[in-house]
Amino acid sequence: MKLLIIGLGQCGGRIADRFARLNKKARSMRGISIIADAFAVNTDVADLSGLRTIKSDYKHRILVGGQRTNGHGVGKVSELGAEIATEDNDKIIDAIRTTERFYETDAFMLIASASGGTGSGAIGVMTQHLKERYIGKPVYNIIVLPFQQEETTEARTIYNTAMCLKSAYLVADAIFLIDNQRYIKKNSPAENNIATINSRVVEPFYNLLCAGEETNKKYVGSKTLDAGDIIQTLAGWTVIGEGKSSIRRKMPLLGQARDFRDRMSETSKAAHAMDEALGELSLTCSPKNAGRALYLVTAPPSEMKMEVIQQLGDNLKAVAPDALTRSGDYPRQKGSLSVTMILSDISNTRKVTKYFTKAIDLISVMKSKRGLEYSGRKLEEAFSDIPVLL
């Protein structure tokens, strides 16, 4: 699958930069291109200047709202970020048109932090404009949720996050939710933490995107997961994870059959990798709430046994019984077996519901301060009080 990446705001731009780096890795190590192009959009000049891999020309690092912000950002006011994206969306669309192999793009991937200003406000607006302009081409979002400390110290963080999630959900084909708190290391410097988190956000997409773009017949799986399979899987709230098991096997002597324990070890290592993928999902959720699921097994060709893939399918069915499941194999890497897992069309995500509930409570407090009556209502009824940034 080949994506066109657009990072919005500081967080989105940095993750887009990581995707651009991932594409360099795919080209140098596998001779495959998985990113048609990568762009960073921001209202802050300094944030755009700090990127490393995205091309530095004005068509790839796009400054918007320059006259309104003087290149210094929107100060976490996501409504202003949405206004600027609406005014300057043609500037972004024109830049996208410069992509040489745009026709090869299978889908758009827009990335932003939910709690900021520029990205939080712009992601829903740009998703809507892209869907209206490129009918039939999926538009996916990666939305990064705030750190716990941000939630507890800044009320604006909750408000922005709820508005961003609601707006994106109304227009995006699927939304990958990334919980920052799951990746944090308390004793690590902030800069190292952010770099590590961004890397871990992007890495699970590597084998998934490469599998369908593989051109060397030696590495084409017996059951290839292509763009069509991924597109049919992705819908609504979505999470992604990856698990790995190392493979170290002693070669049997000439004429000697392999020990039965080696065969059992293959299955157990694959099961361990799937368990780790489920444990490392980008957001804590119950697999039972997933309507769709996908898993990809990547391992050396000699380790790619059908019974291993079937066993993983049985394991996933046990934890996600209602999910429509797709699977595939990718005989590529050496020395390890990895499982890439996607759960999509998730019906109940506690984390998202919590943001909506807190935002509604915050709105009620704001209304009461203005002397407006606000009677207690159910969450579904009060949901309409959360503004939409479209």
Show the 3-state SS of 262-304.
Answer: HHHHHHHHHHHHHHHHHHCCCCCCCHHHEEEEEEEEECCHHHC
Low-confidence ranges of the chain (pLDDT < 50): 260
Q: What is the pLDDT of residues 48-96, one digit of tens each?
A: 999 999 999 999 999 999 889 998 899 999 999 999 999 999 999 999 9
Question: What are the b/e assignments for 192-223, b being 16+ CB within 10 Å?
Answer: ebbeebbebbbebbbbbbbbbbbeeeebebeb
Q: Domain for residue 270, yes or no?
A: yes
Domain boundary among 203, 224, 255: 203
pLDDT at 255: 53
pLDDT at 144: 97
Q: What is the pLDDT of residues 175-191, one digit of tens each?
A: 999 998 888 765 556 56
Give the residues across from 174 on adjacent strands: 140, 236
Q: Domain for residue 383, yes or no?
A: no
Same domain membership, residue 158 and residue 105: yes
Same domain membership, residue 162 and residue 93: yes
CATH number at residue 59: 3.40.50.1440
Same domain membership, residue 69 and residue 167: yes
Task: Give the containing element (helix H, strand E) for 254.
Answer: none
Q: How far apart are CA 114 and CA 228, in angstroms?
A: 28
Does this model's pTM top 0.85? Answer: yes
CATH number at residue 318: 3.30.1330.20
Q: How far apart are CA 78 and CA 120, in angstroms?
A: 6
Q: How far apart are CA 46 and CA 9, in angstroms?
A: 11
pLDDT at 149: 86
Same domain membership, residue 272 and residue 186: no
User: What is the identity of the amino acid at 40?
Assistant: A
pLDDT at 265: 65
Q: How far apart are CA 263 and CA 260, in angstroms?
A: 5
Q: In this structure, what token pair is assigned to residue 87?
A: 């005014």
What's the Cα-to-Cα distance from 337 to each of 214, 259, 283, 300, rounded to whole Å? 18, 20, 23, 7
Same domain membership, residue 255 and residue 198: no
Domain boundary among 203, 231, 254: 203
Q: Which domain holds residue 284?
A: 241-346
Residues written for the chain: 390
Q: How far apart are CA 327 and CA 322, in angstroms?
A: 15
pLDDT at 56: 95
Residue (of 336, 98, 104) closest to 212 by Cα position: 104
Query: In total, how many domains does the chain have?
Result: 2
Same domain membership, residue 13 and residue 71: yes
